Each structure stands twice: as C-alpha cells, then as structure tokens.
Amino acid sequence: FLIDKGNHRHFMAKEIHEQPEVVGRTLGHYLDMSSGHVALPFELPVDPATLSRLTICGCGTAYFSALMAKYWFERFARLPVDVEIASEFRYRDPPLDPSGLTIVVSQSGETADTLAALRCAKGKGQKILAIVNVASSTMSREADVVAPTLAGPEIGVASTKAFTCQLAVFAALALAFGRARGVLGAKEEARLIGELMAVPGLMAQALKCESAIEGLAREIGKVRDVLYLGRGAAYPLALEGALKLKEISYIHAEGYAAGELKHGPIALIDGDMPVIVIAPKDAVLEKTISNMQEVAARGGRLILIGDENLARDFAGEAEASIIMPEFPADFAGMVYAIPIQLIAYHTAVVMGKDADQPRNLAKSVTVE
Ligand code: G6P
C-alpha cells in the first residue's frame, strides 16, 4: 500500500505526530482497558515467577528502549535485568541460565547483531521473546514468542514511533511480570494501567510544544556540542536525545546520567554548549534539580524539559523551557520522548539537513 508523508515535509515529522495513535493502538493490544488488567495476546514461553534474571538485547534506539525497560522490570516486577548492546553480548560468550528468558528488541527484526544475539541466547537454551515492528522479519520467525509493536511502517531512518511503541510493549510486559511474580496487586496494576492509558493523550498534548521547539532549534543549530542530562528512567532518554541529534543534524551530542555530571562533563560547561535537562516530576526530580542548579551556577546554557511548576522555578536560570503536561511520572518516558525527537528534527531542518535520509546511516543494518 501507498505510504506518503501526509501534510508533513518529512516522514520523520509524520511519524513523530503519529505517536499518540500508534502508541494507543499498541497499548490496546496488550491491555484490557475495561478490566484494568494486562492481557498479553500470547503465552509467555517461561513463567516469570521462576525467573532469576532477564536479558534484553538491542542496537541503537532499540537498545535505549531496553535501558528504560530495565527501570520498569526492576521496579514493578523486582526482576534483575541485564541490558545488552547486541554486538557486545554476542561476542562475549555470556553465561546464561538454560531455563531463562532473553528479549530481543528491534524495529526491523533484521539487525544483524541483534539477530546474532537471539541465536546466541537460543543456543544456550534461553527462550526468546522478540519485540519487533516488522511482523514478517527473521527475528519474528526465529523467536519463541513475538510481541509486535504496532507502529506501522517506519520510513525515517532515525527511529521515533517504533521507539515509543517498544516502550509501550515493555511497560505492559513489566506489569504482566509484576503480577505473575506477586509484586503488583490488582489495585496497583489497575492504577498503573490507568496511567498507561493516559499516555497517548499526554503525547498529543506534548506535541503542542512544537512551535517553542522550532525557536529553540534555531539556537541549537548554531552550536557544536550539546549535553543531555536525565536521571532514572529519563537517563535512557538523555542517551536517545543525544543519538537523535547526532544522527540527523551531525551536531556532536552526549547523553549523561545527571548524577555523573560532577564526574566529568561539568568541565565542559560554558556559555556556548546547551545543556538539555529532561526532568519529569518523578521520585528523583529533587536530585535532578540540584544538577540544574550546578549548570546554572557555572553559567551554562540550561534548557529544561519539564512541567510548568519547574519552568516557573527556573524562569531566571533557564535559557529556554519546553513545557510538558503535569502527570504521574511512572511512564513519563513515552511523553518526554516527543520533545526529544522534535528538537533533533527541527534542528536538522533549520540546518538544511535531510532528516529522513541522514548520511552514512541505514534504516536496517544487516551487516555486522
Ligand atoms: C539503525 C537505525 C537506528 C536503529 C538501529 C537498530 O542504526 O539507524 O535508528 O535504532 O539500526 O535497528 P532495529 O531495526 O534493530 O531497531
């Protein structure tokens, strides 16, 4: 069937804007909204209650979705998680429990290193669950169970909607595992599902920050380096934000755990380099706020992504604030992904770069 850009200049813009819909669709595939329970559309290949450890492998953006999932599996299911870059995992001869579970996560389902990680884990007796967007892919065929992301075809080389749909699947799985392991009660599960169901609407609200981001992008387009900071589940988003910006604008960017600021990157703070702080109202916000103060105290260019209260508190210190809606932050990563993606996209556009077809990158990397 025909895939077009609709009213957008690039597929990437279209795909960013599709997210409320496709994340809603993906969540609907895994949750029973009327009962407030997770309703996985497949049998898990292992009983989560018997697992002592979970391994998740991916590359690029998919790897960052797995990093965020670790926070959720640990918190909601009290399950230790190893998140692995597929190309490291596969060559390391990792010791794996033969009755354990490996999750591979991939938009294309064809990435050579992730496929090799799947085969490596399978060869050691692990069961494989594949979170993939392309249903007919090799990973889908070789996995024991396929958990589809229902993002639809993703054309922009830099992944956007596949990422947030991966997060949606991981969130549902983490809740299912939490129930199976006796960590989450029915009431807690229903509360968290209520939060998940609100995510697509919150993403739609987050998209309203686009015009503010267009202004910001004109400034970012002039710099050489950008630092992204995040703490807790916002840390993987800092990594993803830096990756997106590098991929399509060719500006050097780094993502850092906010607590690591003092162990190195603080030396880089000056009046030139924007420091983008991803600061949802979660349990570690107070700690992130102290990092923001450290940046401001050193004359850094503080750009904050947070809710209105935070923006008000930092009105004097921040060069720009991207305002997000206020909501319980358990699954804030999906909502805060939107400004992260828009910053990269609009920066590439103001710089005259082709956001859909960045140089040297391929949508699906089937070489090792
Ligand atoms: C390429 C793409 C990235 C993607 C990565 C993994 O490098 O440019 O956007 O995250 O591959 O792809 P996969 O299809 O496995 O998710």
Helix, strand, coil content of the chain in percent (nearest 5): 50, 15, 35
Phi, psi of 106 (to 5 degrees): -160, 135
Q: What is the pLDDT of residue 173?
A: 98
Kindly state if the Cβ of 65 falls inside 6 Å of ligand 1: no
Instruction: Confirm if 142 and 339 have CB atoms less than 8 A apart.
Output: no
76 pLDDT more than 60: yes
Q: Using DSSP, state whether 284 is helix, strand or coil.
A: coil
- Note if 363 is an active site residue: yes
Is the pTM higher than 0.95? yes
Angle value at C-alpha 346, between 344 and 349, nearest 5 degrees: 110
pLDDT of residue 367: 80
- Tell me how far the alpha carbon of residue 336 lies from the centroid of ligand 1, in angstroms: 20
Dump pLDDT digits (tens) for 169-183: 999 999 999 999 999
**What is residue 357's predicted lDDT score, i.e. its pLDDT?**
87
Q: Does the C-beta of 156 come closer than 6 Å to ligand 1?
A: no
C-alpha Rg value of the chain to the nearest Å = 20
| DSSP designation for 311 | H
The predicted pLDDT at position 359 comes to: 84
Mean pLDDT (the chain, rounded): 96
pLDDT of 100 strictly over 90: yes
Share of the chain above pLDDT 90, in %: 92
pLDDT at 2: 60
Two structure tokens written together for 325 = 């809606």
Asked if 121 and 96 count as a contact pair (C-beta separation under 8 A), the reply is yes
Q: What is the per-residue pLDDT for 363?
A: 82
Expressed in angstroms and rounded, the spacing between residue 59 Cα and the centre of ligand 1 is: 6
Q: What is the CB neighbour count within 10 angstroms for residue 317?
A: 15
Confidence of residue 6 (pLDDT cuts 50, 70, 90): confident
Per-residue pLDDT, averaged over 79-89, amounts to: 97
Answer yes or no: is the C-beta of 133 below 6 A from any ligand 1 atom: no
Please give the single-letter amino acid code of residue 139.
M
Using the predicted structure, report yes or no on whether residue 229 has a pLDDT greater than 70.
Answer: yes
Give distance in angstroms: CA of 295 to centre of ligand 1: 32
Contacts of 345 (CB under 8 A, 6+ apart): 10, 12, 13, 16, 244, 248, 355
Task: Determine the distance separating the centroid of ligand 1 and the alpha carbon of 222, expressed in angstroms.
Answer: 27
pLDDT at 349 over 90: yes
Average pLDDT over residues 87-95: 94
Q: Is the CB of 138 under 6 A from ligand 1?
A: no
Note the pLDDT tens digit of each residue in 254-271.
999 999 999 999 999 999
159 lines ligand 1 (CB under 6 A): yes
pLDDT at 290 over 60: yes
Mean pLDDT within 64-85: 98
| Total residues found in the chain within this entry | 368
Residue 342 sits at the vertex; the CA angle it makes with 337 and 344, to the nearest 5 degrees, is: 100
For the record, the structure tokens of 142 come out as 């070789």
